[in-house]
Amino acid sequence: MSQIHARTCHICEANCGVLVEVEGREILSIKGNPDHVLSRGHICPKATAIADLQDDPDRLHKPVKKVNGEWQEIGWETAFQEIAAKLKDLKEAGAKPAMYMGNPSAHDYGISTQISTLRRAMGLKNIYSASTLDQIPHHVVQYHMYGHVSLAAVPDIDRCQYLVIVGGNPAASNGSIWTVPDFKKRVKEMQARDGKMIVIDPRRTETAKLADAHHFVKPGTDTALFIGILKAIFEGGHADISRLEQIMDDGWGNIEPAIGGFDMAELSAHCGIAVDDMREIAAQLGADQPAAIYGRMGVSVCEFGTLNQWLIQVINIATGNLDREGGTMVPEPALDTINLVGRGSVRKTQTARGEMPVVMGELPTITFAEEMLREDDERIRSLFVVTGNPVLSAPDGARLDRALEKLDLMVSFDMYVTETSRHADYILPPCGPLEKDHYPFFFGPLAVRNYASYSPAIFDIRDGEKADWEIIAELAREILATDGQDVPNIREPRDVLDNMLQSSPAGLTLAEVEAAPNGIDLGPLRPCMADRLMTEDKLIQCAHPDFLAELQRFAQSLAETRPDVLRLIGRRHVRSNNSWLHNSKRLLKGPERCTLMIHPDDAAGRGLADGDMATVESRVNSVEIVVEVTDDVMLGVVSIPHGFGHGREGVGLSVAAAKPGVSINDLTDPESFDPLSGNAVLNATPVTVAPVRELEAAE
């Protein structure tokens, strides 16, 4: 007899409700849950791949140890004891440990409940993560303006009438720092009530194709666009801060003068967006309607990422759209991580590259390889990689690939032998995805409605296997015991969750949430900024001096001529998720996706036709890739998706091996970064493109 379990998909930030039909341990189907309070039946193709993940023959089930270059299965106890003993020896020799946390750890609340014990046990100072490849500018801005690294205001799409999306592609990504499942239908509903969506992107993306207007922008230049819009807001008389004045500090008065010197025509020439278009966007954002401007990866992972995210907040404030129904609001979820954890921190520290930002205790991942390659006592010699694949996800991955070889001890918490974990001495694999429970710990606070939804595990964990949280908790205790330190009791994730739910304003118990398989809806977002602000004076700090100084740096950069070269950007496809879903047969179906998109005129100028092989070269490296000629990318722009490059030796992904692709991060450059946040620059990489045959002939 088959059974249907309502559950949340854990793969991306959308956290869609799914219905999983099983018979015994066989998965019969995975469908959208029409009754889920947030996703309303929506799913994307990745949800069905959960079955491939659960049953993947390439998945490791037992810890493995590398012996003379070969993987050998070993027992958990042996693995924990050996790792703890090696770490102790290294610590006694003064060797520095480090940790890299990847994206899936944000989707496993169990990991979040245990990781601090492991960090403490390791005596960690060097923590790196995917966040500094992704979103650290948001945290810096939120910390300075609102007093907490995670206090994010998200667009209230269900009541918005004019939504501007800059450098985000939620139709494929399903939203980021914005939990917005069923995005397409929500846009259609907005348009049905005469609302408009405007998209600004160097590629005519899936989201752009849904929009009422799309403007191409030159990669890496959006700061000019934001300043242009803000200037037009002030000059056109569209500013109205009456709604927010009570909670704004007097820094507001510094902003208009600070942008006064910029010239609209010059800004327009820099970013490629017409002055009239900037004025129209300003007028619409400032019109008598709920509106919002939102910017994501395309404007975060660039040299002025923090400045961009600040300007976005300032535009929403100037037009009275922050903390407004239909504008942007801070969610009040059932489990309010923001009120329960500290404000976070933004500091600086010395690295091999000189002084760099440390945000929420995290060092910039762009400096990671050089910390492993440095020759002095500060060299990182032991590394734990928790759910991450930095060889494919961090800039100059090829160098990182070499750096990992120099470690004295490397442990990967992963279910696959990946491009990264192939370098490990030990791999500690978790149980299957349907053998763990789920709560959208970090995503309730980013969701378009206030809600709660808990999913228990569907299957028991098989004998001899463990969940990530257990592996982390048990290893941490072994390390503490080996060091002769006090060993705390394990607090089970469910208990921590129950406690956090009950301590949150909604006061729900885990039992109550669990009893509602479709989730509990706590209603639409509400203006609440006055109560949420965590700055010392409980006011929005409108113009932090770092942001004003960064405006000056941008002004200087405007005066320099920008070399007229091809600029490389990334992309995401709805059937792919960062580097780790290419081993799913269901998802890999269809045409080759790791292609170089290039505009017809740029292709013709280089003698390239659709399907040809091209060499793409940047300062750091070159790759060979098949060409896809399309006018969906702007003239002067080429695009390669990230997360491919599975052809490296020793990778244990047999399905992905059929279409390995190349890694865009063999081209991106860790020398470029956003100085206010330390975030990587992953777009607008200068490249040259030429037919492969020409180069071969020249050799």
Q: How far is the CB of 294 from ligand SF4 (least distance, A)?
A: 18
Among 571, 576, 570, smallest CA distance to 656 is for 576
Q: Residue 416's binding partner, choosing from ligand SF4, ligand MGD, Mo ion, none, with beta-carbon cut-off 5 to 8 A by kind?
A: ligand MGD
Q: Residue 196's binding partner, choosing from Mo ion, ligand MGD, ligand SF4, none, with beta-carbon cut-off 5 to 8 A by kind?
A: none
Q: Which of 54, 126, 150, 174 binds ligand SF4 (CB under 6 A)?
A: 174
Q: How far is the CB of 7 from Mo ion (least distance, A)?
A: 22
587 vs 620, beta carbon nearer ligand SF4: 587
Q: How far is the CB of 440 from Mo ion (least distance, A)?
A: 15
State whether residue 549 is helix, strand or coil. helix
581 vs 667, beta carbon nearer ligand SF4: 581
299 vs 496, beta carbon nearer ligand MGD: 299
Straight-line distance from the first to the last Cα atom of the chain, in angstroms, rounded to the nearest whole number: 65
Determine whether 467 is exposed, middle or buried from the number of CB atoms within 10 Å of its CB (0-12, 13-18, 19+). Answer: buried
What is the CB neighbour count within 10 angstroms for residue 261? Answer: 9
Q: How far is the CB of 31 from ligand SF4 (least distance, A)?
A: 10
- Dihedral of the CA atoms 334, 360, 85, 350 (nearest 10)? 180
Q: Residue 299's binding partner, choosing from Mo ion, ligand SF4, ligand MGD, none, with beta-carbon cut-off 5 to 8 A by kind?
A: ligand MGD
**Range in contact with ligand SF4 (rule: CB under 6 A) among 6-14, 185-193, 422-430, 682-690:** 6-14
CA dist., res. 576 & res. 584, Å (int): 9
Q: How far is the CB of 135 from Mo ion (least distance, A)?
A: 7
CB burial readout 142-162, b (16+ within 10 A) else e = bbbbbbbbbbbbbbbbbbbbb
Q: How far is the CB of 296 from ligand MGD (least distance, A)?
A: 3
List of residues contacting ligand MGD (CB under 6 A):
12-13, 102-104, 108, 130, 133-134, 166-170, 172-174, 176, 200-203, 205, 217, 219-220, 222, 296-299, 302, 387-390, 393, 413-416, 418, 430, 468, 569-574, 576-580, 642-643, 664-665, 668, 682-684
Q: Residue 16's binding partner, choosing from Mo ion, ligand MGD, ligand SF4, none, with beta-carbon cut-off 5 to 8 A by kind?
A: ligand SF4
12 vs 476, beta carbon nearer Mo ion: 12
455 binds ligand SF4 (CB under 6 A): no
12 binds ligand SF4 (CB under 6 A): yes
14 binds ligand SF4 (CB under 6 A): yes
17 vs 327, beta carbon nearer ligand SF4: 17
Among 33, 43, 34, smallest CA distance to 11 is for 43
Interaction residues for ligand SF4, span 26-85 (CB under 6 A): 43-44, 46-47
List of residues contacting Mo ion (CB under 5 A):
134
207 vs 615, beta carbon nearer ligand MGD: 207
- Dihedral of the CA atoms 618, 624, 630, 636 (nearest 10)? 20
Scan for tokens 């995805």, then name that residue. 433
634 binds ligand SF4 (CB under 6 A): no
Q: How far is the CB of 38 from ligand SF4 (least distance, A)?
A: 10
Residue nearest ligand MGD by beta-carbon distance: 298
233 vs 385, beta carbon nearer ligand MGD: 385
CA dist., res. 196 & res. 178, Å (int): 19
312 vs 539, beta carbon nearer ligand MGD: 312
**Range in contact with ligand SF4 (rule: CB under 6 A) among 14-22, 64-72, 188-196, 492-500:** 14-22
Among 93, 200, 139, smallest CA distance to 445 is for 139
Q: Residue 117's binding partner, choosing from Mo ion, ligand SF4, ligand MGD, none, with beta-carbon cut-off 5 to 8 A by kind?
A: none
What is the CB neighbour count within 10 angstroms for residue 332? Answer: 21
Cross-sheet strand order for the sheet of 17-23? 3-8, 17-23, 26-32
574 vs 692, beta carbon nearer ligand SF4: 574
Q: How far is the CB of 171 from ligand SF4 (least distance, A)?
A: 11
Q: How far is the CB of 437 from ligand SF4 (least distance, A)?
A: 16
CA dist., res. 312 & res. 66, Å (int): 48
Mind spelling out the 3-state secondary structure of 89-115?
HHHHCCCEEEEEECHHHHHCHHHHHHH
Scan for tokens 């979040």, then name that residue. 112
Determine whether 682 is exposed, middle or buried from the number of CB atoms within 10 Å of its CB (0-12, 13-18, 19+). Answer: buried
Q: Residue 181's binding partner, choosing from ligand MGD, Mo ion, ligand SF4, none, with beta-carbon cut-off 5 to 8 A by kind?
A: ligand SF4
CA dist., res. 287 & res. 259, Å (int): 22
β-strand partners of 634: none
Q: How far is the CB of 585 from ligand SF4 (least distance, A)?
A: 17
Q: Which of 15, 126, 393, 663 binds ligand SF4 (CB under 6 A)?
A: 15
Q: How far is the CB of 43 from ligand SF4 (least distance, A)?
A: 4
Compute how many residues bind ligand SF4; rule: CB under 6 A: 12
State whether residue 365 is helix, strand or coil. helix
CA dist., res. 411 & res. 426, Å (int): 5
Determine whether 230 is exposed, middle or buried from the number of CB atoms within 10 Å of its CB (0-12, 13-18, 19+). Answer: buried
Among 454, 381, 511, smallest CA distance to 15 is for 454
Residues 148, 152, 155: CA angle, nearest 5 degrees = 165
What is the binding site for ligand SF4 (CB under 6 A)? 9, 11-12, 14-16, 43-44, 46-47, 174, 181
